[in-house]
């Protein structure tokens, strides 16, 4: 491919409002063009990267006995009504009607379609387990598309669905999928990624893992311990210990104007660890109040609270319930119809400062068991940097940020049961298959690799997914011998199966190299009058790991060897 014929342009700056480097570089480098919020068209280099990633995805899915199928983008609402998700999912699902007023949806995930396809074709236990996968376009009407390909509305996804006759069999397969995912990300050249326990969200099921590319610009927060423990903050257990202390007397104390726990503790000279604060939410549907009492130094983890309540909630907007005195709400003597949740951090906490349920009044010396009685404690607190690891028990938790690049879920029988998919087991008893599902977004993976592997001048694509393997820069087209050398080299490389991007434009070297940086091709070959006189070509790595010269006559062979050696790293 000649640069002069390649569609797309390289820019010095971006006019678009870019939040992160990968986005800015991929716009500047002519990789994509925004069509609407979260919707992009892709220029040839991205499509070339995408096809290489898709090849890796297919190979790894086939390796774990996957069978490629294709589900539709547009599905009848009836399919989603069966699983209950037609109403269960909010406005991130696009709904519309066809010319005959039939309700349709755009697929944002394909559990229903997978069950529909497999249903009635796997009626005996002898046909299990099996896994089907597709690579297909999906659409999610994200309210906040951002970061280029990090959070889009339309995207290409590899999604896989496995079917099993037992939870044990699913778990065995889940392990294989887990390993396949590790191989996929490594083969795509991603280095700094981890798998973490995660919340299953709208997918249902209990056990799930997310693969996270660790980066400061990540939207997700991850809790990590050296012992190997990893979890999305959303579901990370919070382990809190409280010191034994002699019980003090419960005392009413005036706290005029001290409405926050920080203010109260500072006013009373007490540690926030010895306080109990109230965080107030409302249920989305009813606006009913939910009061969470939690140790003053901790934050509420809303995902855990939501999972505990099994209801959607939002922070309370205005407090109008009798019994809740905003700024002075506490567990002692409160009279309210609100749901009350006690976080586990209060279990065993002694001599607490807490709201007095009267304006300008708090209590000190509150001991919940003594003063209130037995309550149920629930873990709804956010894990903290330096907190206790729930696995090794050390105070060694670290908080990182990451981009979710893939996920795997154990779904149970949520979909097979609701859609009535059954098989006959060895005893001729009808049973619902157990499912797992496994997703990777191609575009987000490309952006994550770019985010991890770039410099100020452009992406540094790993050899395994680079749009081209070698870029040949011809610095003097008008010089016959330079031109002959460059053209000969390109032909020779191509005949050896090397993917070459060839720049023979009559532009300044600086201009050509700036473009080459944006193409991010891993190996660059410079053919110039000076080199030609010396009888060599100059070969360097985009990541600056090497720079060398090869005699012109051996160049094609040497460069081919180099490319193959660089590819070896990804043979896992």
Positions in the binding site for a second copy (CB under 8 A): 1, 4-9, 30, 33, 35-37, 39-44, 46-48, 50-51, 65, 67-76, 78-79, 91-92, 94-96, 98-99, 102, 104, 106, 113, 116-118, 120-122, 126-127, 130, 132, 134, 136-137, 139, 141, 143, 153-154, 156
Measured CA to CA, the distance from residue 211 to residue 431 in angstroms comes to 32
Q: How far is the CB of 461 from a second copy (least distance, A)?
A: 17
H-type alpha helices, 496-551:
509-519, 529-534
- 459: which 2 tokens? 């992406």
Please say whether the dihedral angle defined by the alpha carbons of residues 360, 365, 367 and 370, taken in this order, is positive or negative: negative
**407: Cβ contacts below 8 Å, ≥ 6 apart:** 198, 208, 209, 210, 211, 438, 439
**190: Cβ contacts below 8 Å, ≥ 6 apart:** 213, 405, 445, 448, 449, 452
For residue 412, the cross-strand partners are 435
Measured CA to CA, the distance from residue 482 to residue 488 in angstroms comes to 10
Whose Cβ is closer to a second copy: residue 7's or residue 318's? Answer: 7
> Do the strands 275-283 and 289-295 form a parallel or antiparallel pair, or are they unpaired?
antiparallel
Contact 315/278 with Cβ under 8 angstroms? no
Please say whether the dihedral angle defined by the alpha carbons of residues 243, 244, 250 and 251, taken in this order, is positive or negative: negative
Whose Cβ is closer to a second copy: residue 143's or residue 551's? Answer: 143
Q: How far is the CB of 368 from a second copy (least distance, A)?
A: 43
Measured CA to CA, the distance from residue 5 to residue 12 in angstroms comes to 20
Whose Cβ is closer to a second copy: residue 121's or residue 428's? Answer: 121
Whose Cβ is closer to a second copy: residue 116's or residue 414's? Answer: 116
Q: How far is the CB of 410 from a second copy (least distance, A)?
A: 21
Per-residue b or e along 42-52, where b marks 16 or more CB atoms closer than 10 Å to that residue's CB: bbebbebbbeb
Q: How far is the CB of 50 from a second copy (least distance, A)?
A: 7
Contact 365/350 with Cβ under 8 angstroms? no
Whose Cβ is closer to a second copy: residue 43's or residue 293's? Answer: 43
Contact 505/560 with Cβ under 8 angstroms? no
Contact 101/20 with Cβ under 8 angstroms? no
Contact 181/211 with Cβ under 8 angstroms? yes
Q: How far is the CB of 339 from a second copy (least distance, A)?
A: 30
Q: How far is the CB of 44 from a second copy (least distance, A)?
A: 4
Q: How far is the CB of 505 from a second copy (least distance, A)?
A: 10
Whose Cβ is closer to a second copy: residue 36's or residue 318's? Answer: 36
Q: How far is the CB of 92 from a second copy (least distance, A)?
A: 8
Q: How far is the CB of 153 from a second copy (least distance, A)?
A: 7
Whose Cβ is closer to a second copy: residue 127's or residue 195's? Answer: 127
Measured CA to CA, the distance from residue 53 to residue 157 in angstroms comes to 11
Measured CA to CA, the distance from residue 339 to residue 291 in angstroms comes to 6
Whose Cβ is closer to a second copy: residue 8's or residue 201's? Answer: 8
Whose Cβ is closer to a second copy: residue 56's or residue 106's? Answer: 106
């Amino acid at each position: 491919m000649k640069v002069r014929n390649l569609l797309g342009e390289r820019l010095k700056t971006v006019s678009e409002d870019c939040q992160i480097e990968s986005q800015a570089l991929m716009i500047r480098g002519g990789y994509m063009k925004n069509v609407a919020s979260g919707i992009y068209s892709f220029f040839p280099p991205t499509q070339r990267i995408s096809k290489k990633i898709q090849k890796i995805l297919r190979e790894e899915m086939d390796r774990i006995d996957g069978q490629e199928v294709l589900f539709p983008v547009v599905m009848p609402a009836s399919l989603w009504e069966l699983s209950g998700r037609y109403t269960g999912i909010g406005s991130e699902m696009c709904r519309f009607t066809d010319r005959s007023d039939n309700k349709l949806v755009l697929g944002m995930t394909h559990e229903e379609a997978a069950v529909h396809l497999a249903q009635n074709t796997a009626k005996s236990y002898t046909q299990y387990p099996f896994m089907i996968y597709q690579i297909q376009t999906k659409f999610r009407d994200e309210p906040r598309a951002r970061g280029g390909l990090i959070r889009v509305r339309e995207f290409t996804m590899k999604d896989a669905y496995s079917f099993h006759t037992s939870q044990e069999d699913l778990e065995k397969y889940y392990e294989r999928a887990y390993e396949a995912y590790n191989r996929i990300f490594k083969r795509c050249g991603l280095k700094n990624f981890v798998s973490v326990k995660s919340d299953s969200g709208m997918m249902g099921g209990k056990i799930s893992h997310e693969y996270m590319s660790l980066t400061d610009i990540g939207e997700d927060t991850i809790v990590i311990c050296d012992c190997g423990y990893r979890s999305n903050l959303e579901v990370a257990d919070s382990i809190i210990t409280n010191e034994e202390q002699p019980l003090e007397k419960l005392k009413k104390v005036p706290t005029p104007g001290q409405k926050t726990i920080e203010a109260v503790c500072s006013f009373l000279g007490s540690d926030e660890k010895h306080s109990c604060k109230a965080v107030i939410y409302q249920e989305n549907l009813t606006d009913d109040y939910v009061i969470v009492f939690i140790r003053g130094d901790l934050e509420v983890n809303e995902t855990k609270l939501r999972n505990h309540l099994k209801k959607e909630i939002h922070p309370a907007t205005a407090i109008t319930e009798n019994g809740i005195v905003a700024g002075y709400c506490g567990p002692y003597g409160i009279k309210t119809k609100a749901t009350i949740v006690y976080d586990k951090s209060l279990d065993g906490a002694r001599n607490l400062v807490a709201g007095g349920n009267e304006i300008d009044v708090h209590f000190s010396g509150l001991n919940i068991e003594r003063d209130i009685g037995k309550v149920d404690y629930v873990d709804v607190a956010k894990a903290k940097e330096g907190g206790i690891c729930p696995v090794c028990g050390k105070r060694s938790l670290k908080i990182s940020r990451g981009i979710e690049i893939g996920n795997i879920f154990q779904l149970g029988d949520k979909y097979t049961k609701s859609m009535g998919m059954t098989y006959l087991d060895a005893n001729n008893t009808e049973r619902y298959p157990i499912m797992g599902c496994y997703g990777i977004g191609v575009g987000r993976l490309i952006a994550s690799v770019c985010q991890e592997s770039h410099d100020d001048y452009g992406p540094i694509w790993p050899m395994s997914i680079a749009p081209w393997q070698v870029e040949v820069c011809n610095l003097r087209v008008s010089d016959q011998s330079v031109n002959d050398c460059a053209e000969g080299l390109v032909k020779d490389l191509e005949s050896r199966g090397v993917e070459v991007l060839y720049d023979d434009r009559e532009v300044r070297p600086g201009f050509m190299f700036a473009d080459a940086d944006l193409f991010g091709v891993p190996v660059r070959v410079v053919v110039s009058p000076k080199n030609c006189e010396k009888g060599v070509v100059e070969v360097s790595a985009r990541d600056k790991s090497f720079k060398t010269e090869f005699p012109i006559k051996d160049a094609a062979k040497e460069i081919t060897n180099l490319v193959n050696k660089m590819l070896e790293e990804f043979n896992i």
